Amino acid sequence: MLIKKITKVENMIDTHIHSDTRPYEDFERMALSLDGVITLAHDPLKPYSMDVLRAHFDRLIEGEIERGKKNGLKVFVCLGIHPRMIPPDVNYSMLKEYLKNKHVVGVGEIGLEKSSKEEIEVFERQLLIAQGLNLPAVVHTPRRNKKEVTKTILEIIDSLSLKKDMERRIVIDHCNKETVSMIYDRGMYIGLTVQPGKLTPGEVVEIVKEYEGDRSLLNSDSSSAPSDILAVPRTVLKMKMEEIEEEIIKKVSYINAKVLFNLKV
């Protein structure tokens, strides 16, 4: 009886993956259910120099968009310096040039891992660059000390006195049940990552019920760590089975992402 109520799953975007870590075959699998994915810069290699990041950015912009095209999957890109990928010769003007590329839809992922002085400085600079270029920013929060580090991130954002418009375009990603409210209350987006060790589809259902899908973005963070490339469609199905309203499901799995990142899908 319940199954009869489940309507067709349509229009979905995975807002946070690392497609360069995934095999070619995954692209078609994702394209079967997703309208698009956002692939973000991360920490694929040791950052011996800014040139390593440049090679990584090129791979995302050229290689990954092309691999997507060959499989019918629309790939959008966010670029930035991940807290685990800070080179000794950080070059912000080079980063800015890359961020002006027409395929880039945001700055990310940036954020903090251990909250070192260096991480904080690089994070602050990139938030200001995002504001200057009028781009949304995707902020990583670590698995360890998530609550503490999230608090520090919010304090840093406060200290920068960003324009209200910019603050409202910040995604604090990989939220958990402990951190969701402090982020939501500040008017920022909550990134809901369904991945082993992060959220389960069931936990997402609880959060979505509470916030009715406002400022919420669903993603799989598919990477070289254990991941589920179908986490978004799987969670959408779970939401339908739990009888969450169609409008709310659409917001979390598609509309919020399309609007925030201005995606042409």
d(C-alpha 101, C-alpha 210), whole Å: 37
Could you tell me the sign of the dihedral formed by the alpha carbons of 250, 30, 265, 57, in that order?
A: positive
Residue 119 to residues 93, 104, 173, 190: CA-CA distances in angstroms?
Answer: 18, 23, 17, 21
- Least spacing, CB of residue 40 vs Zn ion, in Å: 6
The neighbouring-strand residues paired with 190 are: 172, 216
Q: Which stretch binds Zn ion (CB under 5 A): 64-72, 87-95, 213-221, 230-238?
A: 213-221
d(C-alpha 19, C-alpha 25), whole Å: 11
For the chain, list the strands marked E by DSSP.
13-17, 36-40, 74-79, 104-111, 137-140, 170-172, 189-193, 216-219
Q: Is 113 in the site for Zn ion (CB under 5 A)?
A: no
Q: Which residue is nearest to Zn ion (CB)?
A: 221
Of residues 15 and 216, the one with the C-beta less far from Zn ion: 15
Of residues 85 and 244, the one with the C-beta less far from Zn ion: 85
Of residues 55 and 225, the one with the C-beta less far from Zn ion: 225
- Least spacing, CB of residue 226 vs Zn ion, in Å: 13
Q: Which of 122, 103, 104, 105 is nearest to 114 (CA)?
A: 122
- Least spacing, CB of residue 189 vs Zn ion, in Å: 15
Of residues 87 and 142, the one with the C-beta less far from Zn ion: 142
Angle at 32 between CA 214 and CA 225, to 5 degrees: 70
Q: Is 35 in the site for Zn ion (CB under 5 A)?
A: no
CB 35 within 8 A of CB 11: yes
In this structure, what token pair is assigned to residue 103?
């395929």
Q: Which stretch binds Zn ion (CB under 5 A): 19-27, 196-204, 221-229, 252-260?
A: 221-229
Q: Is 221 in the site for Zn ion (CB under 5 A)?
A: yes
Number of residues in contact with Zn ion, rule: CB under 5 A? 1
Of residues 113 and 221, the one with the C-beta less far from Zn ion: 221
Of residues 216 and 219, the one with the C-beta less far from Zn ion: 219
Q: Which stretch binds Zn ion (CB under 5 A): 111-119, 175-183, 217-225, 243-251?
A: 217-225
- Least spacing, CB of residue 180 vs Zn ion, in Å: 18
Mapped onto helix, strand or coil, the DSSP state of residue 26 is helix
Residues near Zn ion (CB under 5 A) are 221
